[in-house]
Structure 1
Amino acid sequence: MTTSPDASGNYCYRHPDRQSFTLCQRCGRTVCPSCQTQAAVGVHCPECIKEARANGPKRKPVLVRASRASRGKPVVTYTLIGITVLMYLLQLVSDGRVYQALAYYPPFTAEQPWRMITSAFLHSQSSIFHLLFNMFTLFIFGRALELPLGRARFIALYLISALGGSVAVLLLAPQSVVIGASGAVFGLAAAFFVIQRRMGVNNRLLLIVLAANLVIGFIPGSGISWQAHLGGLITGAVLALVFLRQRNKPSANPEIALVALVVAALISLTLVRIFVL
């Protein structure tokens, strides 16, 4: 919801005696609680609701085309959390074998490229807070994104953002060992930010939180890979722009092609770093 900075003028346009601090997301007029209709983002006034209904589906404020997969519970989010927690438990009982097999170490990229993804499901055994923070972030943004995006887009966003984080590590810190879902969850946060901004929502606070978390990675001795954060952030933002560009289009083929292009670009950067630079 959006609020007006001038409280003296915050009176419902339909009920001048009722003060309100909520604006219609479409037209910007002040509306009181009895005149508000909750929308996907913010609230709408009665006139805008009538206009949207009169103009049909073209004016309906949706993010992407609806599908059966996008309805119900955020199953993919819960599954990702379950797999990650299970991998953490396996790390505790495997005497380092899981870590050695799946952690991302850039010099192994050519022989074992799957580590660029599997490392996103591992977390530091020395601090459970690493796991809890990432899973809490996944829970928050996963529930916000999975249903409106649809499960296929959401899982693509998560895994490709994880890949983007690993590519950034390969390019910027090629001798480091990296584990954790931070690249993937930063991709979710960036996508959420981009989508909200495009839908007209002021999410300055989220931008501050993202910037603060990114800066923390530059603190010496923090043990945080800012490279993975940055890579996931950029990848998630790019994918969000792809999803927004293709929303409500009759065919999904152009969207699939653009997502494949993002993946191809990440793979190309990986190959150039391994075999050329």
Structure 2
Amino acid sequence: MTASTSADRCYRHPDRQSWVLCSRCGRTICGQCQTQAPVGVRCPECVREERDEQRQTQRQTRIAHGGPRTELGRRARAYFAQPTPVTTSIGIVTILVGVLQVLPGDLSASLLWYLPYSLSEPWRFVTWALVHASPLHLAFNMLVLFMVGPSIEQRIGKLPYLAAYVVSAIGAAVAIAWLQPGSAVVGASGAIYALFGMAIGMQRMLGRVQPALLLVVGINLAITFLFGGISWSAHVGGLAVGLALGFGIGLVDRRMRSGAGVWIVIAAVAAVCAAAFALRILSLLG
């Protein structure tokens, strides 16, 4: 009598009578606990087990085809599969550093570009592009970054774009070392002007430069020289580095049509920047 009573009761809700069985495990389930399956119905436990088995099968298939082994790896791959993840990442890191600047402690002093500290603290060649003098300074640079950067990233690729951005920041720092060696400078402006230069150079080598781009660059250069407190050497140096990268990439892209050509140009510009800095240090020591 007890066995008969328990057999026709939902295993999750003993107060509910039912004659429907899970087609997978055979347990009695009421209407609330039933999930429709291709054949019959499933109980909640079987639905959960089937879902876990399906996820495990998908994971094994993904790994077998070279996919990431962990959920973190899968999310990272999905992030970098976006059209412009490097531009987004540069923006996020720069904005995060900008937020950290308002906290107690002089973060800018540890990251800004200052030639006398460059040899003992080489990270300053790049980190000066992450700190800014004010929220407006940060906002303007990030606006231009997201206006110009994505098209270049999509054109030359993610890693080459990141390398070009880093080389641009280094090149602009080298220009400061030559033109305003006593200046302490912050801001992504040097690298941003390099993006302007890259866009101009690539457009010129692959077709025709957009007049709107030339107008924007001209206006910004005028502002550079008309107002005080702006590092004109960083802007001019960054623009020169960007033009070298842009014309070079446009040239090799037109002739070689190979991803290796982009890396050759970036490496060549980086080598010139390194040589120029070495000459500057020797000139100061001599």
Q: Which TM-score applies when normalising by structure 2?
A: 0.67
What percent of counterpart residues are identical?
35
Q: Which of 86, 99, 117 is the matching residue for 2:108?
A: 99
CA contact (8 A) 2:148 2:196 kept: yes
User: Are 2:84 and 1:74 equivalent residues in the alignment?
Assistant: yes
User: Are 2:215 and 1:205 equivalent residues in the alignment?
Assistant: no
RMSD between superposed Cα atoms in Å: 2.1
Cα distance in 2, alignment partners of residues 143 and 257 from structure 1: 21
Cα distance in 2, alignment partners of residues 95 and 255 from structure 1: 40
Higher helix share: 2
The match for 1:117 is 126
Relative to structure 1, the CA distance from residue 243 to residue 190 in structure 2 (aligned partners, 3 Å threshold; closer, same or farther) is same
Cα deviation code 1:76-97 (max 9, x no counterpart): 011000000000111111421x
Q: State the one-letter code of the partner of 2:137.
A: H
The match for 2:246 is 240
Aligned residues: 205
User: Are 2:142 and 1:141 equivalent residues in the alignment?
Assistant: no
The match for 1:176 is 183
Relative to structure 1, the CA distance from residue 100 to residue 240 in structure 2 (aligned partners, 3 Å threshold; closer, same or farther) is same
Matched residue of 1:224: which SS? Answer: coil
Structure 1's consecutive aligned runs of 4 or more residues displaced over 6 angstroms after TM superposition are none
Greater Cα shift, 169-178 or 192-201: 192-201
Following superposition, the deviation at residue 134 of structure 1 comes to 0.2
Q: How does 1:258-269 map to 2 (within 5 A)?
A: 258-269=265-276
Q: Which TM-score applies when normalising by structure 1?
A: 0.69
The match for 1:84 is 94
Q: How does 1:28-39 map to 2 (within 5 A)?
A: none
Cα deviation code 1:86-112 (max 9, x no counterpart): 00111111421x111111111112211
Following superposition, the deviation at residue 201 of structure 1 comes to 2.9
CA contact (8 A) 1:77 1:139 kept: yes
Matched residue of 1:174: which SS? Answer: coil
CA contact (8 A) 2:164 2:266 kept: no
CA contact (8 A) 1:137 1:185 kept: yes
CA contact (8 A) 1:70 1:147 kept: no
Q: Which has the higher contact order (CA 8 A, sep 6+)?
A: 1
Q: Which of 142, 164, 169 is the matching residue for 2:171?
A: 164
Relative to structure 1, the CA distance from residue 144 to residue 251 in structure 2 (aligned partners, 3 Å threshold; closer, same or farther) is closer
Matched residue of 1:234: which SS? Answer: helix
Which protein is bigger by CA-based radius of gyration? 2
Cα distance in 2, alignment partners of residues 258 and 201 from structure 1: 21
Cα distance in 2, alignment partners of residues 134 and 188 from structure 1: 11
Relative to structure 1, the CA distance from residue 238 to residue 70 in structure 2 (aligned partners, 3 Å threshold; closer, same or farther) is farther
Cα distance in 2, alignment partners of residues 247 and 71 from structure 1: 23
User: Are 2:202 and 1:195 equivalent residues in the alignment?
Assistant: yes
Following superposition, the deviation at residue 117 of structure 1 comes to 0.9
Cα distance in 2, alignment partners of residues 214 and 267 from structure 1: 26
Gaps of 5+ in 1: 1-68
CA contact (8 A) 2:194 2:241 kept: yes
